[in-house]
Amino acid sequence: MPLVRISHPAGMTEAHRQALSDGVQEAMESTIQVPPNDRFHILTEHASGLIFDAHYLGIERSLAWVAVQITLRKGRTVEMKQALYRRIVENLATDPGLRPEDVMICLVENDLADWSFGKGEAPYVR
């Protein structure tokens, strides 16, 4: 059910982009109970337009900086969210090799009635 938006610099290979998607997906599966086949990701490359502070909170960011915004139903605990963040940066450090400093994550929560996955159905509120 999460809808994931990944905004990344231009010039990446498709394998690199797939690794970004895979790493976020595995992290959601292993920490916040997202089913393996519940994957809906939108990746957008930016030749320019990613404008960010390179030092905020003492974290040193590089031009490889990526923003991950995840819309998901409400209900995850703070501990689950913390585990999610840790797992995403671990996964992306392994593949495609992103520095943990270069991964921003932002969650937006909504309700069970706010989702349709096709056919005009609202499967979570039957």
Q: Which residues are catalytic?
A: 2
| Shortest Å distance, C-beta 114 to its own copies | 4
Which of 77, 66, 68 lies closest to 33 in space, CA to CA? 77
Binding string, residues 4-33; x marks residues near its own copies by CB under 8 A: ---x------x--xx--x------------
Distance CA 46, CA 17 (A): 13
Which residue, 63 or 78, is less far from its own copies as judged by CB? 78
As to burial, measured by CB atoms within 10 angstroms (0-12 exposed, 13-18 middle, 19+ buried), residue 104 is: middle
Q: Which of 46, 63, 96, 97 binds its own copies (CB under 8 A)?
A: 46
